[in-house]
Amino acid sequence: MKTIDIALVRFLQFLVLLFFTFVVFLWYGCASLVPLALWVNLTEFFTVAFGPIMSTIIALIIIGALGVYLSKIPKLIETFLATGVDLIKLGNTSVQRMGDIAAAVRNDAPPQGQKVEIILTNKLS
């Protein structure tokens, strides 16, 4: 029965790992696909008036200008990257806790009481 418990905990640990991996890939993937989606839609929009080659160039200029504008907003990129890093840390902590539970099941000991501390910091200042 103990091997079934350990296998179940390891399976749940794997599911937690998959979930947080998916969330981190989704977070950074959406950020990298937004400019591409804008480029495609702007190219399609301007194709009606300017033709395909000229509309592609215009769309690239607009996307580049938008990128320069967003990069000049203070702490925007750092905040975005910090949120992704916080997701990674949260996932790592969750997987480690599941590992602690698996070790407790393996040793027939109750899991040690762990305190969860939520520290709110102002990362923008």
Sorted by sequence, the CB contacts under 8 Å of residue 88 that are 6+ apart come out as 20, 24
Residue 122: the pLDDT is 67
Residue 125: the pLDDT is 54
Query: Is this model's pTM higher than 0.95 or not?
Result: no
Which among 77, 57, 75 has a CA at the least distance from the CA of 67?
A: 77
Q: What is the pLDDT along the chain (125 residues), one digit of tens a residue?
A: 678 888 888 899 899 999 999 999 998 898 889 999 999 999 999 999 888 999 999 999 999 999 999 989 988 888 888 888 898 998 888 888 888 888 888 887 665 666 656 666 766 65
Residues in the chain: 125
Residue 18: the pLDDT is 93
Return the residue matching tokens 């910090």: 82
CA 108, chain centre distance (Å): 36
